Amino acid sequence: MEGMFNYSFYKYKDKWKEISEKEFPKEIAIENINFDLDSYIKINPENKVFRSSSTAFLWKRLGSDSVTYNNWKNNNLFEVEKEYLIDFKKKYIDPYWKEEDLKNRIPKITSISDYN
């Protein structure tokens, strides 16, 4: 699992510049949401599959500096705490996105044939 769920954050203004997790706009942390090909992952911290998604790990990283996150990650390779994700969603996602908007943003690929 080495190298998985490592994140760097960038902004573009004439060129790409690395920024801190504090500068990254947390409300857009759904744009590259992961999904599996059998059923797309809804943004639902109650869902164990979502809690182990790269989106969940990204949310955890956005709430931590890199040292704290890496220390946490070394002991938690499989799942982000449900309570943390509920709080993150309430604070950063819910005020910005309506549930119907999220449904339209998240890929709804249900089989490999939909992907091709």
pLDDT tens digits along 11-68: 888 999 999 888 988 888 876 555 543 345 577 898 888 888 888 889 999 998 888 8
Angle at CA 48, nearest 5°, toward 45 and 51? 55
Kindly tell me if the per-residue pLDDT of 116 is higher than 60. no
Does the residue 7 lie in any domain? no
Does the residue 21 lie in any domain? no
- Residue 105, pLDDT score: 62
Does the residue 10 lie in any domain? no
CA torsion sign for 95, 99, 44, 59 is negative
> Which has the higher per-residue pLDDT, 88 or 40?
88
Does the residue 89 lie in any domain? yes
Predicted structure pTM score: 0.71
Helices within 23-75 (DSSP H only): 48-51, 54-62, 66-75
- Residue 47, pLDDT score: 87
Which residues constitute the domain of residue 59? 27-115
Does the residue 5 lie in any domain? no
68-89 mean pLDDT: 89
Does the residue 91 lie in any domain? yes
- Per the structure, the count of domains in the chain is 1
74-81 mean pLDDT: 84
As given in the structure block, the two tokens for residue 66 are 């890199």
